Amino acid sequence: MRKVRIIARIDIKNEFAIKGIQFEGLRKVGNPNELAKRYYEAGIDEIIYMDAVASYYERNSLQDVVASTCENIFVPITVGGGIRTVEDIQQMLLAGADKVAINSQAIKTPDFIQKAAQIYGSQCIVGSVEAKKVAEGRWEAYIENGREPTGIDVVEWVKKLECLGAGEILLTSVDKDGTKKGCDLELIDSIQKTCSLPLIVAGGVGKLADTRDAAQYSGVDAICVASMLHYGMESIDNIKKEIAQIDNVEVRC
């Protein structure tokens, strides 16, 4: 049986949980600790905290949020946004994070992924990829929370991240983020065919069927859900039941 994880993604700005559409127009959706606790109690498999402004403004406000979350939440926690140095990683791990997601700094200095993996192990380093469609069957990697194009092809970049020592890939569609209009299935398909690391897909989930559409690909290991949970549109139970309907797929229950 193939296992698919359901991950709650909580974007953070200062001390608030926020959600934007295509990374823009950020709206407050609550207190991150309260959301995380609610999702934990409802059976979420993992939590991803993403600092929505850290990378852009060169600052990092997540440490306190992570530390208090870890006091009473006992599922894996990944932290991303503004992770630029080994010290940043160390700080997040000390606060209680299990993994860090790295995007902008990986593009700027790819060796950073290699160095981080050597120190903390690949299992700790999530290669975060923000993909924007630029032509039919072609996606470009973006940095700084979907704001800055890099000219780098996403399929190639995922392969590179694997070679550098990342242990997981978090693939976010910039086009679909926050739209609740379904995932970019072409993007997911083209990555899942070639990616031999555990693959987390994010961006666009707005209804139960969207989670199932994304989870049907055999190379997809985890689905990120944000808006649907933040706005109380669906329960974690229902999402898991939906995905468990796919042949040969198992969820944690």
Partner 1 sequence: MNNIFILDIGLGNVKSIANAFSVLGHTTTLSCDKQALLNSAQGLVIPGVGAFSEGMKRIAQRDLIDTIITFANSGRPTLGICLGMQMLFDGSDEFGYCQGLGLIPGQVQKLPLPKGSKLPNIGWGRLKPNKAYKGSNSIVSEDIASQPFYFVHSYAAKPKDNSHTATYSDYCGVDFCSTVNNNNIWGCQYHPEKSGPNGLQLLKRFAQQVVK
Residue among 26, 75, 152, 249 that touches partner 1 (CB under 8 A) = 75
- 130 within 8 A of 97, measured Cβ to Cβ: no
| 21 scored as a contact of partner 1 (CB under 8 A) | no
Residue carrying structure tokens 């946004």: 81
Containing H/E element for 83? Answer: none
| 74 scored as a contact of partner 1 (CB under 8 A) | yes
Give, as ranges, the residues between 137 and 176 that touch partner 1 (CB under 8 A): 167-168
Which CB sits closer to partner 1, 3 or 108? Answer: 3
| 198 scored as a contact of partner 1 (CB under 8 A) | yes
| 221 scored as a contact of partner 1 (CB under 8 A) | yes
The region of 8-16, 91-99, 101-109, 152-160 touching partner 1 under the rule CB under 8 A is: 91-99
Residue 156 annotated to the active site = no
| 56 scored as a contact of partner 1 (CB under 8 A) | no
The region of 39-47, 49-57, 108-116, 240-248 touching partner 1 under the rule CB under 8 A is: 39-47
Residue among 8, 48, 97, 239 that touches partner 1 (CB under 8 A) = 97
Long-range pairs for 246-253 at CB < 8 Å and ≥24 separation?
246/4, 246/212, 246/215, 246/216, 248/1, 248/2, 249/1, 249/2, 249/3, 249/4, 249/215, 250/1, 250/2, 250/3, 250/4, 251/3, 251/4, 251/5, 251/6, 252/3, 252/5, 252/43, 252/45, 253/43
Residue 11 annotated to the active site = yes
Structure tokens at 47: 């939590």
Residues comprising the chain, all counted: 253
| End-to-end Cα separation, the chain, in angstroms | 14
Number of residues that bind partner 1 (CB under 8 A): 32
Catalytic residue among 46, 130, 177, 213: 130
SS3 92: helix
The region of 24-32, 117-125, 144-152, 203-211 touching partner 1 under the rule CB under 8 A is: 117-125
The least CB distance from residue 40 to partner 1, in Å, is 7
Catalytic residue among 11, 51, 168, 210: 11
Rounded CA-CA distance 193/170 in Å is 15
Residue among 85, 196, 238, 245 that touches partner 1 (CB under 8 A) = 196
Distances (CA, A) of 149 to 71, 169, 184, 249: 38, 19, 18, 36
Residue carrying structure tokens 């700005």: 13
Chain positions contacting partner 1, by CB under 8 A: 3, 5, 40, 43, 45, 67, 70-72, 74-76, 93-98, 119-124, 167-168, 196-198, 221-222, 252
